[in-house]
């Protein structure tokens, strides 16, 4: 981690928790929307709507523009979280249920932490990895134990979505330390708007008749909350608290999402899910404790030796002065 950057874990976890709560509704809302919209149109339209709002925010709040050396990172963020993750999850939800796809989101902390090590220099303690691996194993076991038919295509698409999303989170957090979290996602959306808007128009349904209000509300949610507002809080949280530390909140996201799926999609909540959720909370707590590097212990003997040397030198000076 950059030595000039001191994590503010309290504010970081608060912002991260709010962002995570917003993201928890993304896959249930996408599941509703993909029943009425093609995945390509859904991806392009949500990016376009969020991009239009982002342009207004940047125009009203002003602030510095991204430097030339930051454009590549912004492009990577846009490719991962504006296009990659929404498109891959929308395609996956054509093959698997919202409940099945949500449990894969529990693997996001591992992907985020891994790319955080590669991109931001975070160095969590070994115990952090043990807690994170335990949480990921619990989530994976829960996914494998879910009833219903599985789809290899859907599973592979979700794994790809988790990978690109972890990279986008880590890269966005790195940029947020210099550009502010809300500016990162707003500029990423703005840069892609000239491409997303015409693609949304070109891929729109032939007719809008028969599309229910639930699909439109879901499109609005994933456009404004999942694509913009959630990222403002999430990137702020990662920048303040550290990618590896705050990223562990993602372990709780699938279970909040499952609650929403049960409410919105009438999916049942099993005792196994509740038990796994409780175990994952323990893993998150452990990961939070060990996410920052261990403090370097002081060496008092060196200080004592230095004090003794200085004291001896002072005594010699006094003896010479008295002669």
pLDDT digits (tens, 9 = 90+) for 179-215: 877 899 999 999 999 999 999 999 998 888 888 899 9
Which pLDDT belongs to residue 304?
A: 47
Which pLDDT belongs to residue 298?
A: 56
Confirm whether 1 is domain-assigned.
no
Q: pLDDT, tens digit, for every residue of 275-286?
A: 887 888 788 778
Domain count, the chain: 1
pTM assigned to the model: 0.78
Above 60 in pLDDT, residue 176? yes
Q: How confident is the model at residue 295 (pLDDT cuts 50, 70, 90)?
A: low
Confirm whether 212 is domain-assigned.
yes
Q: How confident is the model at residue 322 (pLDDT cuts 50, 70, 90)?
A: low
Confirm whether 38 is domain-assigned.
yes
Query: How much is the average pLDDT of 6-17?
Result: 81
Confirm whether 185 is domain-assigned.
yes
Query: How much is the average pLDDT of 144-157?
Result: 73
Above 60 in pLDDT, residue 267? yes
Give the domain range for residue 105: 9-322
Which pLDDT belongs to residue 3?
A: 47
Q: Which two tokens stand for residue 114?
A: 């891994």
Confirm whether 249 is domain-assigned.
yes
Above 70 in pLDDT, residue 318? no
- In 3D space, the residue among 173, 192, 181 whose CA is nearest the CA of residue 55 turns out to be 192
Confirm whether 2 is domain-assigned.
no
Least confident of 77-86, 95-104, 232-241: 95-104
Confirm whether 4 is domain-assigned.
no
Neighbours of 227 (CB within 10 A): 27
Above 60 in pLDDT, residue 136? yes
């Amino acid at each position: 981690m950059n030595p000039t950057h001191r994590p503010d874990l309290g504010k970081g976890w608060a912002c991260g928790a709010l962002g995570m709560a917003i993201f928890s509704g993304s896959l249930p809302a996408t599941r509703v929307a993909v029943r009425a919209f093609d995945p390509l149109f859904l991806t392009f339209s949500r990016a376009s709507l969020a991009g239009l709002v982002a342009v207004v925010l940047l125009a009203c709040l002003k602030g510095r523009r991204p430097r030339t050396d930051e454009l590549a990172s912004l492009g990577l963020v846009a490719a991962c979280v504006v296009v990659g993750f929404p498109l891959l999850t929308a395609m996956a939800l054509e093959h698997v249920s919202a409940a099945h796809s949500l449990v894969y989101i529990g693997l996001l902390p591992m992907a985020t932490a891994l790319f955080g090590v590669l991109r931001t220099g975070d160095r969590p303690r070994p115990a952090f990895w043990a807690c994170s691996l335990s949480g990921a194993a619990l989530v994976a076991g829960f996914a494998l134990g879910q009833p219903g038919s599985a789809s290899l295509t859907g599973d592979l698409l979700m794994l790809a979505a988790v990978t690109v999303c972890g990279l986008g989170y880590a890269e966005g957090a790195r940029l947020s330390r210099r550009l502010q979290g809300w500016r990162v996602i707003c500029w990423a959306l703005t840069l892609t708007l000239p491409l997303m808007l015409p693609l949304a128009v070109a891929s729109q349904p032939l007719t809008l008749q028969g599309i229910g209000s639930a699909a439109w509300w879901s499109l609005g949610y994933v456009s404004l909350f999942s694509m913009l507002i959630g990222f403002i809080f999430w990137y702020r949280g990662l920048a303040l608290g550290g990618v590896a530390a705050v990223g562990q909140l993602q372990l709780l996201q699938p279970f909040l999402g499952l609650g929403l799926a049960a409410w919105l999609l009438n999916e049942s909540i099993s005792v196994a899910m509740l038990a796994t959720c409780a175990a994952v909370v323990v893993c998150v707590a452990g990961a939070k404790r060990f996410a920052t590097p261990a403090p370097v212990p002081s060496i008092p003997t060196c200080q004592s030796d230095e004090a003794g040397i200085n004291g001896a030198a002072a005594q010699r000076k006094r003896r010479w002065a008295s002669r």
